[in-house]
Each structure stands twice: as structure tokens, then as C-alpha cells.
Amino acid sequence: MSDVGTIFQVWQQQGKGYVSLPRKMRDTDSPKGPKNHKGKWEERSFQWPEGLDNIKAYIKESNTQGYDLYWCPTVLTQRQRVKENIPTLSILYADLDEINPNTIQDDLKPSVAWESSPNRFAAVWFLDKPIPAKQGEEVNKGLTYLLNADKGGWDLTQVLRIPGTRNFKYEGNPRGKLLWYDEHTINPQVIPSMPVEQEPEEFEALDLIDSNPTRLLSLISSVKDKLKPKTLSLLITSEEDILLYDRSEKLWELECQLLEQGVSPDKVLELVACSNWNKYRGRRDEMKRLKIEVDKALTHTGKDQAIQTEVNHMEKKWTSYSDLMSMQMEQPGWMIRGVWQRTSHGMIAGEPKTYKSVLATDMAVAVASGKPFLGKFPVEHSGPVMYIQEENSPWLVKDRIQKIATTRGAVGTGVKQLSQTRFEIDMPPDLPLYFLNNKGFDFNSAEDRQFLEESIKEIKPVLIIFDPLYLMLGDKDESSSKDIRPVLNWLLYLRYQYKTSVIILHHWNKSGKSERGGQRMLGSVLFHGWVESAMYARIVDEQNHTIELEREFRSFSKPNNLNITFNFGEPGDFDYEAIIAKTEAKLSNDQIANFIKENRAIGPDDFSKFNISKAKLVQRLNSMTKRGILTKQGEIYRVKEKEES
């Protein structure tokens, strides 16, 4: 009997039905549907024993063409490999991992044992009589725990590597080999029941862990200083890249690396659960499986001796009311007064050709130089700026920088004309403005994210600009919350981890009718809820380069819209001007009265605070006086006190 033929003998002991031979798709395979593509399982079932010849041909084809092939030891009543199709169990089985079956005590000696890969083993036991499947599963579980075998390998639909087939997970593609086969049986009663104390009590609580991948970046922030770049890169591997590797092997590698770098076991469990390497996601026993793996990694790395101190250190703690009230917290402030909150995240969005990139470039120069934005709005938090852009040509970016920097007086000693078309600009050596122009930056590329984060550590920016969003999403859909959420979470991670403002440039949809610019953004509804500071641009007069700019903040009241007209010189010269038209506040009588009441009274020195012309304000104040809302003494206005009845 050949090594492979062992599985036929095991099935023969169970009678007629269907057998399952799942295999792992190869890296070179083309997609075969949503469930069968690279890195995924391809399920194949055959009628038994009528399909023996087809089974042999399938095993031979799979082994010669580089597939990792597995078998389900139980014979099914229907084609699907589900518990409902296994009414009774006449065998037991275990994935022994590194437990050599020769070391198992005689009364539990396996009927069949084989080496599935170097120093890794599996086994099957024949029962002296069939037992109900539910009972059989419990017996199999007890056997697994008794032998300290793989605790994820006792369920009814378990699959094992076929004896004698090659293991393509390892270098050299080693072939497994049969150790022995005999038909002796065991009585299931010799296997002790699963001890209650061996079933980890914390599994109930672990089932509450949220393994949503969108949590990953926020989890990383608490342990990032401990992680080596290689481990961090492995941890944030994208779903597309996952398919290029064996998920089981990389999950084990990640667990061991995290533990070796000093991450607590509880945190490791959360990190791997939220990573794309989590092969158990969505299963009822997801956290049980992961906990078993982490426990094994603890033993393997020798980190199980010093757990308690680290766990206590990472322990979550409630903050009391009194502690919260006594905390010194930085209040919201401005990076650019009236335009952008300090260390906030948000968007510059609007219709096409509404000078969004010009606004962003003006902001970049302003923050890097400390000069006013648009020549008007003071910068209160200046510093290095990183500008990643994929839409405009480098010469256009340079031309805008030349124009804006020159008009802001941020070019050092000035501009020297070398010829009719060539100029030399003496930029101040300490103007910390950095560009990544048309380099194909992709939010979904682990390599690009790592490159950017390493650059952030070196440059320490106070502002990062991404221009525009749609060219940095790769094959992701901006209308899909599932695709967009990880990107927004990663940007939040950058904002909080490195205390920097983050700005994305984005477009409006074509059919939006909302008066609020944030509700007109193209794609996912997540965008508007995500922003903390924002600017939305719409065309007022295309011929005269005039836009209306709406501003929005999470921590400050909404200001009036701005009308801005841009005047540009020809390419190569340095003429640039942003003319902001005077806008009149749309204030209700109640707002005016409340302002006066808060200040007790107002006079001519206070009129400028309302941002409308003096004549119109006086007209409103006099009208409110006639209506009995205000009283007037000379040029001083007060709120009229209500008479007591």
C-alpha cells in the first residue's frame, strides 16, 4: 500500500458516501470566482468509492502541479463538508504538530501515523464501534487536549495533509511519509473527558474582542515604539498582498515577532485579530483559535515567564470625574486663524477647477514660512510641511510656489533674472517645504505608507497635504465605506501619532444639491463625518477666476463664506494675488442682541466686530431700537431690560 493509499483504507473503514479533498490555490492561479482565488481554498468532493479513479488522478495532478492538498478523514453523507453531513464517527484524528506519535502511550497508540512535513505529524485512530457525531467530536477534543496536540484540529470537518504528498509551504517542497498503518481499534471510553479547567475561561470574554481591520492602526499606535520596521510592515500587509503568502505561516511568524519585541500577549491577540493575516475572522470560535496560537507562540518564544508584569502595565483603566477635571489638556487652537484648526484632519473639496490646489499650495507656503495665508489670515502654528501630489506636473507646482512665495516675501534676498526665460530664486534655507511629485503614492501600499511614516519621523511636519484623493486609492472605490475606512483610519493614526494636521484634496459629486459643501463630496458618506476642519470651493465667476469658499470646523463656530478672486501672471513670472471681497454677516436680531448683552453695551469702536459695513449695522441697530429691543444713549447701544410685571 502506498503512503497516499492510506487515506483510501481509512475511508474504506467507514463505508459509502462522499469524500472531500480541499487544496490551496497557488500564487500563479488565475481567479476562479469570489471564493476560489489565490491563497484561498478550492473545495473538491467525490463520490466514494465509485470515484476512486478520479480521486487518484486529482491527487496526482495536484501534487505534480504544486498544490498543497488536504483530506477530510470522515466520509460524508452529502457533498458539502459540513457537520450536518456527518451523523456518526468511527474514527478519531489529530494534528499532532511536533508531537512524535512514537512517544504516545501504548493504550492510545494511533492506528495510522504519518509525518506531514519535517518534524510535524498527524494521526488517525479507528474506534471499536461508531458513536454519534456530537459525542465523537467531544471525544476527539478530549484526545487532542490529552496529547497536547493542535487544539484547533479536533472539529468534525477537520482536514489534514495527505500522507506522501509534497508540502509546498517549505523550501525544497519536502514529501511527507507514512510511519505506520494497522487496523487495531480503541475504545472511546479510554479517552478521558475534556477537563473543565482545561477549557480556558477567558474565551467567553475574548469573544467580545472586535476584530474589525479598521481598528488596527489605532491599536498599533500604543505599541509602535516597540516594533521593528519588518514587523510593522508585516502587520499592516494589505489584503491583496496577503494572498501571495501562506496565511498560517505568516500569522505564526507575526505572533512570534510581536511577542519577541515585548508586546503583551493580550495586545498581540488584538493586533493579529485585526490584521489581514487573521484566517479565522468571522468564525464562531475565532478568538479561541487565535488565543491557542498566541499561547503556543508564548511557549515557543519563551516569553510566557514574564507575562504578568506586562499585562498589568497595559491594563486599561477608567478615568474618574475628578481626575478628568484636574487634567491639563491643550485647548483647540488655530494653525491658520479662521481657516484651519491646529493639528486637525480634514479636506479641501469642491467642483473641478476651483483652485483647490492653489489654496493648498498657498497654505503650504504660509505654514512653512509663517506668512499669512492668502495674504490675510495669520499663521499661529508654523513648521515643516509635506506635500504629496499626483495630479499636476512638477513645472506647474514649481510655478505656483514661485508666484506665492515671491508675493509673500518668503524668497530670501529676492529673484534674479538670468535670461528672458530663466530665473534664480534665493529661497530661505530654513523654509521647510517638501514635495513628493507624481511618484505614484498609494494609500493601500504598505511600502508607500512605511516610506511616508519614516519621512514623517525625520521631517516632523506640522502639516501633510495629499492632492488628490482619487489618484491615491489604487484599485479601491471611493464610494465604498469598506475601502475608504482603512485609509481614513490610517490618516487619523498619522494625525494623532505625530501631532500633525492632515489635509486631503477631494472632488464634489456632479449632482449634489445640498447647500452644505461637506454633503456634496464625491463617494462615501464617511468623508463629511470624518473632517475636523474643511474648506469647500464653488465657482462664482469662472472667467474672472472667482470662487466662493465655505469653511467648517468641529470646535469653532462656522464663519461667513469668502469670495476670492485669483489673479495669476503668465507661466514663469511672479504675479499672484488673492483678492478677498468684503462679505457681510448674515446676523439675526437675536444674535446681535446676545452679543450686545454679553458685552453690556457697544459703541462705534465695536462695530468692526460684526464684519458688515458700519452704515448697515447702524441701520439695523436703530431699527432694533425703534422696535424696543435696544436702548440708545448717544452712540452707545444696550439691550432693553424687560419690565417687571
Give per-residue pLDDT as tens, 34-71. Answer: 334 444 568 889 999 999 999 999 999 998 888 889 99
* Rama region for 460: left / alpha / beta (φ>0; ψ in -120 to 50; rest): left
Q: What pLDDT score was predicted for residue 644?
A: 43
Strands (E), 79-186: 88-97, 112-117, 120-132, 160-161, 177-181, 185-186
Q: Mean per-residue pLDDT for 467-471?
A: 91
How do strand 533-541 and strand 345-350 relate by DSSP bridges?
parallel
Per the DSSP assignment, residues forming a β-bridge with 127 are 186
Is there a domain that residue 325 lies in? Answer: no
| Cα dihedral across residues 99, 105, 106, 108: positive or negative | negative
Q: Mean per-residue pLDDT for 9-29?
A: 85
Is there a domain that residue 327 lies in? Answer: no
- Both 185 and 214 in one domain: the answer is no
Q: Which domain holds residue 278?
A: 203-313
The pair phi, psi for residue 261, each rounded to 5°, is -95, 15
Q: Mean per-residue pLDDT for 340-349?
A: 93
Q: Domain boundary at 581, 597, 629, which?
A: 581
- Both 34 and 52 in one domain: the answer is yes
Q: Which residue has the cell 468571522?
A: 282
pLDDT in tens, 559-568: 888 999 999 8
Is there a domain that residue 323 lies in? Answer: no
Q: What pLDDT score was predicted for residue 503?
A: 96
Tell me which range, 228-242, 318-332, 539-553, is most confidently predicted by mean pLDDT: 539-553
Residue 286 has pLDDT above 50, yes or no: yes
Q: Specify the range with the lowest mean pLDDT, choosing from 49-63, 401-415, 435-449, 488-502.
A: 401-415
- Both 207 and 190 in one domain: the answer is no
Closest CA to 373 of 428, 334, 430, 344: 334
Q: What pLDDT score was predicted for residue 366?
A: 94
**Alpha helices for 476-579 (secondary structure H):** 481-498, 526-530
Q: Which residue has the cell 485579530?
A: 273
Is there a domain that residue 329 lies in? Answer: no
- Both 176 and 245 in one domain: the answer is no
Q: Domain boundary at 174, 198, 222, which?
A: 198
Radius of gyration of the chain (CA): 34
Residue 343 has pLDDT above 60, yes or no: yes
Closest CA to 460 of 486, 442, 434, 487: 434
- Both 193 and 273 in one domain: the answer is no
Is there a domain that residue 152 lies in? Answer: yes
Q: Mean per-residue pLDDT for 540-548?
A: 88
Is there a domain that residue 424 lies in? Answer: yes
- Quick check: helix, strand or coil at residue 201? coil
Q: What pLDDT score was predicted for residue 35?
A: 39
- Both 514 and 545 in one domain: the answer is yes
Cell numbers for 294, please give them: 498566541
What secondary structure letter does DSSP report for 208?
A: T
Residue 204 has pLDDT above 50, yes or no: no
Q: What pLDDT score was predicted for residue 45?
A: 92
- Both 542 and 568 in one domain: the answer is yes
Residue 76 has pLDDT above 90, yes or no: yes
Residue 245 has pLDDT above 80, yes or no: no
The pair phi, psi for residue 573, each rounded to 5°, is -95, -175
Sheet holding 345-350, edge to edge: 433-437, 385-389, 463-467, 501-507, 345-350, 533-541, 546-553, 562-568, 576-581
Instruction: Quote the pTM value.
Output: 0.45
The pair phi, psi for residue 513, each rounded to 5°, is -120, -5
Q: What pLDDT score was predicted for residue 32?
A: 47
Predicted confidence band of residue 585 (pLDDT cuts 50, 70, 90): low
Residue 247 has pLDDT above 90, yes or no: no
CATH code at position 210 = 1.10.1240
Q: Mean per-residue pLDDT for 523-551?
A: 87
Q: What pLDDT score was predicted for residue 455?
A: 93
Q: What pLDDT score was predicted for residue 536?
A: 92
- Both 126 and 249 in one domain: the answer is no
CATH code at position 531 = 3.40.50.300
Residue 250 has pLDDT above 70, yes or no: yes
How many independent structural domains does the chain possess? 4
How do strand 385-389 and strand 433-437 relate by DSSP bridges?
parallel
Q: What pLDDT score was predicted for residue 75?
A: 95
Q: Mean per-residue pLDDT for 466-478?
A: 89
Longest Cα–Cα distance in the chain: 114
- Both 193 and 215 in one domain: the answer is no
Q: Domain boundary at 183, 198, 213, which?
A: 198
| Cα dihedral across residues 174, 179, 182, 187: positive or negative | negative
Cell numbers for 38, please give them: 489565490
Q: Specify the range with the lowest mean pLDDT, choosing from 15-24, 511-520, 604-613, 619-628.
A: 511-520
- Both 194 and 240 in one domain: the answer is no
Residue 87's identity, in one-letter code, is P
Q: Which residue has the cell 512535513?
A: 117
Report the percent of the chain where pLDDT is more than 70.
84
Is there a domain that residue 644 lies in? Answer: no
Is there a domain that residue 577 lies in? Answer: yes
If one compares 295 and 355, the residue with the highest pLDDT of the two is 355
If one compares 500 and 511, the residue with the highest pLDDT of the two is 500
End-to-end CA distance of the chain: 109
pLDDT in tens, 483-506: 888 899 899 999 988 999 999 999
- Both 563 and 428 in one domain: the answer is yes
What average pLDDT does the chain have? 82
- Both 178 and 233 in one domain: the answer is no
How far, in Å, CA of 489 to CA of 210, rounded?
A: 15
Predicted confidence band of residue 294 (pLDDT cuts 50, 70, 90): confident
How far, in Å, CA of 100 to CA of 181, rounded?
A: 15
Residue 200 has pLDDT above 70, yes or no: no
Q: Mean per-residue pLDDT for 283-303?
A: 78
